[in-house]
Structure 1
Amino acid sequence: MSSQPAAAPNKLDAAVLKIAGVVVLGAIMSILDVTVVSVALPTFQTEFDASYAQVAWTMTGYTLALATVIPLTGWAADRFGTKRLYMTALVLFTLGSVLCATADSIGQLIGYRVLQGLGGGMLMPLGMTIMTRAAGPERIGRLMAVLGIPMLLGPIGGPILGGWLIDIASWQWIFLINLPIGLITLIYAQWALAKDNPEPSESFDFIGMLMLSPGLALFLYGVSSLPEAGTVADNKVWLPMLVGGLLVVGFVLYSFKPKHPLLDLRLLRDRNLTVASVTLAVFTVAFMGAGLLFPSYFLQVRGESTLDAGLLMAPQGIGAMVTMPIAGMLADRIPVGRTVPFALALMAAGFFTFTQVGTDTSYWLLCGSLFVMGLGMGGTMMPIMTSALKTLTNHEVARGSTLLNILQQIAGSVGSAIMSVILTSELNGSPAIPGAVNPQTGGTVSEAGLAIAVAQNPALAQQFPVDPGMLQRGLEFVADSFATTFGVGFVLILATFIPVFFLPRKRQESHLRDHEQGGDRVAPVVIH
């Protein structure tokens, strides 16, 4: 029994850190591209003469592609090997990035974003699989702290990088920047990752794929159409959601029959994985949904540039950088049920400030609150994922990380849709300006809509003289709408305390099962 994983080095050694560099570079590209594009949407509207609803599909198409390909990742990692598949995903993502920069219509850009998503969707679950197999479950807390780096750099660096590149160059460079990074990562991966040892014996679950991948794509399409439609009753919303939901439910009922299902829901028999998955889903709905609106507040209410809005978000990432390494080390020694509630309390305290935002709320207060939120986020997300994966075998990690990534995608999309619908609904309550017509849509112009337009382009106030009192009323209405939306997010953050209560609160043995001569054996390892 001397070869038990407990005997592995306590720290992440040089060999593991070498592999971590590959995974972090790939994940940074994938996550950055979500947040970089979020600040470029107004630019796309101008460049392609498109509506906001149209350009929003540059993000939605990417998300749908992620949801479609993620379920295939677990099987493909076993069948073809993680190194080969990871490098294929890098090629797809980099190629999609270059093609995005060549797009001369909004339709082309959306199509190329889908290609990007097919590669990007595999990078994170594959990266988690590669890292967990390299480090071993006894060091998974510190491992998650390393994987947390791109999750932090995305929200911080994305808006800053996107705003900077658009300001000094052009929108094409938010995609072209991925070319040198992709090439470097490919060369690094070829050198650093171990030779594949695929397991081609597993059969592919075609029936499961025909239900789950289209089901997720249709469901998320319906959810993503909700902000544009404004109501669930719209055929564009309820019909794909219904069909997609039925396909997903059908998959859930079917998935326990095949020996090797596309998504192994049997893993949810592990209590740690189940509780952590529910906690992560609720947390992601709250944080990702409302978190995407923070830059919008700075852009639409405070009139900041894309670069300045990105810089104002930096304190959140700095706070997370402080706590994430500490939380990673503690997760290997202390049950997450003891640490996560305190981190979540910090998250809630910082979030509360945004439920009270106005047109002139102090930047010191806002940035301080973002820093406190970051402290809480750094101590929440990675320990939860640690708890989820800690007791899985090497073989199960690929499927466990796939399950977590799907949950995050669904929760993030649902959260974003909920918050967008609430904000849109609030803004629609703004009084219309008599006689004013929107030249793009031919519809009426509201006081809130005019206030947002002037905040983002002050020159409009000189081109079309308007009553300053009307602008101020509109701006206050917009600020109140954001505050109401953030209030819903705050309630959801508080709701996360319910599943957190069920996270492990006592030191437990890890029922680690190792593969030995084609079978599984139980090797009890005490997690210190």
Structure 2
Amino acid sequence: MSEETSTTSTEEEAPADAATAPTERSPVVVALVLALGAFVALLDTTIVGVAMHSFTEYFDVGLVDAQWASTAYLLAMSSVIPATGWAAQRFGATATWIASLSVFLLGSLLCGTAWSLDSLITFRAVQGLGASMLFPLMRIIVVEVAGRAQMGRMMTMMSVPLLVAPVLGPVLGGTLIQEFSWRWVFFLNVPIILTVIVLSARNLPNAKGQMPGRLDLAGLLTMGGGLAATILGLSDLAKGTSPTGTPVLLPIAVGVLLLAVHGVRAVRSKTPGVVDFSLFRDRAFAASTSITLLNNFGLYGVVVLVPLFFQQAGGKGPLGAGAIMVAQGVGTAVAVLLVGRVIDTKSNPRALVLVGLLLVAAGLTTFALADTAEVNVLLLAALFAQGIGLALAAAPVMVTLYHSLPTTSVPAATTANAVSQQLGGAVGTTVIALLLQHYVSSAGGAAAEFGAVFRWALGFVAVTAVPALFLPPGSSKQA
């Protein structure tokens, strides 16, 4: 339904209709615009990781201080994500998407002109606020545009940024820093985001859902604040701070308390809060969200461990390790060309996810058993298989999330899933960091030492298969 085709008599019904029927926009064009915006945001995160050493040299600070540039970004993201569903319904998903891109653009410009570490940390927080809603919003818009019929194909395209950016980030970041300076890590975003904003305004619909009431500020404080505090404690733990140290225990305790308060309020309230826990009564949604949370452990086992394996055990530089990871990107591209159409036709989402997890497990097993970090055909084949597996495991879950939910629940479901993804990513990063500290020597680490960590990652993949068994075996029956 077109945005203009509303009359006075149907004015109140138009938003709901617009949310349930596919729009006339080209799904392919919409998918490409959304994927480009999400890709830049995620690419920025991976590139900044490469730039950490440059921050320490330029601002003459230690690595622990420089890492606050990443921590501030992560905390800002976590605090705002729970408001995504409300904002999408109140202002429209596209309007919120463009506003988020604009804030991210402003943050990028400011970061590129930072004159001190404190200013960089502050501007990274601005970037994080802008990036916070991009990933859940792009899924909400996909449902508006594609409806149920083409959702699988579009969601598969949406998985590309998540899987490809960590591969390209180290290569692109290393090149920019080496040839220019760390400032270009941020300036690179500007022309791309400007392009995405223009394309979004021209090609994306802005259908609004049912008009929500006022934003539940208390709910946002308890959920967003609790999530941010917990992630802050986990971040300090991942940096090597003692688990019993105040920088770890205090924020985690505050975070858990705030999240508990939010849960109690949600149970007692007659209306859904910023996160609608009643959605977890739906089996498909609960299984999909559980996979999203647990899959981050296996995901970080692939995108974090593998490059470190080639760098520390194999002696490769960031560019060399990034180039090797292209094999995984090729596997992802192959899967994307096939899996979207399959999901839209007669697929069994449960089988696709299990096959994907099996391929990821096969790749991780190859690395766990490797006695050398020298590049060979077997390791490249393992990366290729992992690329296919990650796409197969991720894309169907984006669709089964909404399998038996009414379209009016899409913003709330997407928000709850995004919160789980953020928490899973933080926990996954922390666990992998702790395992590396325990098993891999600071002098560099041999292939055998990495093997123990790969076996843990393999275990995480196996655990992820449990909720996958509860996914629906067929496509949605919802209109």
TM-score by length of 2: 0.90
Which amino acid letter does the alignment assign opposite residue 399 of structure 2?
A: T
Give the distance between the partners of 2:375 and 2:199, measured in 1 at CA: 45
Aligned to 2:374: 361
Query: Superposed, which structure 2 residues align to 1:64-103 within 5 Å?
Result: 64-103=75-114
User: Which residue of 2 is the match for residue 437 of structure 1?
Assistant: none
Aligned-partner Cα distance in 2 for 1:328–1:101 = 38
From 434, 437, 442, the counterpart of 1:424: 437
Q: Does 1:237 align with 2:248?
A: yes
Matches within 5 A, 1:230-269: 230-256=241-267, 257-269=269-281
Structure 2 partner of 1:183:
194
- Which of 490, 503, 518 is the equivalent residue of 2:471? 503
Check whether the contact 2:72–2:125 (CA below 8 A) recurs between aligned residues: yes
User: 2:450 corresponds to which residue?
Assistant: 482
Task: Report the aligned-residue RMSD.
Answer: 2.3
Match of residue 329, structure 2, among 310, 313, 317: 317
Residue 189 of structure 2 aligns with an amino acid whose one-letter code is N
Instruction: Name whichever of 71-80 and 418-427 sits farther off.
Output: 418-427
Unaligned runs of 5+ in 2: 1-16
Offset at 1:421?
Answer: 1.2
Q: Does 2:219 align with 1:208?
A: yes
- Aligned-pair identity in percent equals 33
Match of residue 347 from structure 2: 334
* In structure 2, distance between residues paired with 1:197 and 1:276: 25
Q: Which range is displaced more, 250-259 or 128-137?
A: 250-259
Is the contact made by 2:293 and 2:424 (CA closer than 8 Å) also made in structure 1? yes
CA–CA distance in structure 2, aligned partners of residues 199 and 137 of structure 1:
20
Cα distance, 1:48–1:304 mapped onto 2, change above 3 Å: farther
Distance in 2, matches of 1:282 and 1:133, equals: 27
Q: Deviations over 1:213-257 (max 9, x none)?
A: 110000000111102344321111122111101211221222241
* Higher alpha-carbon Rg: 1
Q: Distance in 2 between matches of 1:481 and 1:95?
A: 43
Q: CA deviation at 1:289?
A: 4.8
Determine if contact 1:35/1:159 at 8 Å carries over to the other structure: yes
Q: Using the alignment, how far apart are the partners of 1:483 and 1:43 within structure 2? A: 30
SS in 2 for 1:103: coil
SS in 2 for 1:204: coil
Q: Spell out, residue by residue over 1:461-482, the C-alpha distance to the aligned partner (whole angstroms, 9 max, x if none).
A: xxxxxxxxxxxxxx53xx4432
Aligned residue among 361, 381, 403 for 2:394: 381
Higher RCO structure, 1 or 2 (CA under 8 Å, sep 6+): 2
Q: Distance in 2 between matches of 1:204 and 1:392?
A: 23
Deviation at 1:509, TM superposition (A): 5.4
1:331-369 deviation digits (Å, cap 9, x = unpaired):
232221122212211110011122234554334332221
Question: Aligned to 2:401, what secondary structure does the other structure show?
Answer: helix
Q: Give matches, 1:21-36, under 5 Å.
A: 21-36=32-47
Q: For the residues of structure 1 that align with 2:305 and 2:52, how far apart are their CA atoms?
A: 13
Bigger share in strand:
1
1:414 equivalenced with 2:427 (yes/no): yes
Counterpart residue type for residue 297 of structure 2: V
Residue in 1 aligned with 2:320? 308
Q: Name the CA distance, whole Å, in 2 between partners of 1:208 and 1:177.
A: 36
Answer whether contact 1:96 1:115 (CA < 8 A) is retained.
Answer: yes
Q: Which moved more, 1:293-302 or 1:270-279?
A: 293-302
- The question of whether the paired residues in 1 share the 8 Å contact of 2:296 and 2:421 is answered with yes
List runs of 5+ in structure 1 lacking aligned partners: 431-447, 453-474, 513-524
Moved more, 360-369 or 306-315: 360-369
* 1:459-474 alignment runs, 5 A limit: none
Give the Å deviation of 1:200. 3.9
Task: Specify the code of the residue in structure 2 equivalent to 1:309.
Answer: A
Amino acid at match of 1:58: A
Take 2:305 and 2:405, find their aligned partners in 1: how far apart are those partners?
Answer: 36
CA apart distance, 1:199: 4.5
Aligned equivalent of 1:60: 71
In the alignment of these two chains, the number of paired residues is: 460
**Equivalent residue of 1:66, what SS?**
helix
Closer, same or farther in 2 for the Cα pair 1:39/1:359, shift >3 Å? farther
Among 267, 285, 289, which residue is 1:273 paired with? Answer: 285
Q: 1:324, 1:313 → 2: CA distance?
A: 17
Matches within 5 A, 1:136-147: 136-147=147-158
Alpha carbons of structure 1 residues 189 and 210: separation in structure 2 relative to 1, 3 Å: same
SS in 2 for 1:154: helix
CA distance in 1, matches of 2:396, 2:476: 17
Question: Is the alpha carbon distance of 1:57 and 1:258 closer, same or farther for their aligned partners in structure 2, counting shifts above 3 Å?
Answer: farther
C-alpha separation between the residues in 2 aligned to 1:379 and 1:202?
A: 38
In structure 2, give the amino acid aligned to 1:385: M
Change beyond 3 A, Cα 1:258–1:167: farther
